[in-house]
Amino acid sequence: MSRIVSAIVNNHPGVLNRITGMFLRKNFNIQSITVGTTEVDGLSRMTFVIGTDDSRVMEQVTKQLHKQIDVIKVNDITDQPIVARELVLIKVFVPPAQRAEVNNLIHPFRASIIDVGRESITVEATGKSEKIEALIALLRPYGIQELARTGLTAFTRDQSSVSEGLRVSKNSTLVI
C-alpha cells in the first residue's frame, strides 16, 4: 500500500533538491512527487506518494520533513477524505482508419485527443490512478509510442462537503 503526504513549502530555489535529498539519505522510496504553487504567493504544495504501509516509516518521513527549514506544514492525508487527480499524456500509434474506434474507446474515460499526426494521436486524461491505469491498458494494444504521467496531486476535502456527502448518502439520494 502507498501513503500520500502533502507538504506546504517555501517556493525558493533548491527546496525540492533538499527535500528529495533527505528522502534519498533516509532511504525512503518516493513513488511519485508533484509540486506546484499554491493560492499564497511564495508557497508551493508538494504531494508525495510513498511506497510503504509501515507506520514507523511514515512517522520518520513526517518527522524528517518537519525538520526541513523550508517546510511549513506536513500532513499524511492517506486516511482522510481527499480530492486526488493525476494527468497522463499518451501518444498512441493509430492509423486514420482506426481513429473513430479509439475515440469511442477513450470517451467513457472523459479523455480527449489533443494532438493528431499522420500515424498517431495524443490522448490526455485526468483522474484517479486506477482510471489512468485502465485507460493505458486499453490503449496498449494499439501501440503506445510515448507516455508521460504527472503523479498524484491531492489535498483534503472541505469538511462541510464531506459532512454534506454523508448526510445525503444516509438519505440514499446521492453518494459522493
Q: How many CA within 13 A on the CB side of residue 50?
A: 30
pLDDT at 168 over 70: no
Residue 8 forms beta bridges with which residues?
45, 73
In the three-class reduction of DSSP (H, G, I as helix; E, B as strand; rest coil), residue 32 is classed as strand
Read off the C-alpha cell for 120.
Answer: 498517431
Greater confidence, 151 or 175?
Answer: 151
Summarize pLDDT for 95-115 with one digit per residue, the tens: 999 999 999 999 999 999 999
CA distance 50 to 30: 5
| Mean local confidence (pLDDT), 145-157 | 94
- Using DSSP's 3-state secondary structure scheme, residue 124 falls into strand
Query: What are the residues whose beta carbons fall under 8 Å from the beta carbon of 143, sequence distance 6 or more?
Result: 92, 93
The whole-model pTM stands at 0.79
DSSP-assigned beta bridge partners for residue 9: 44, 71
Q: Is the per-residue pLDDT at 93 higher than 50?
A: yes
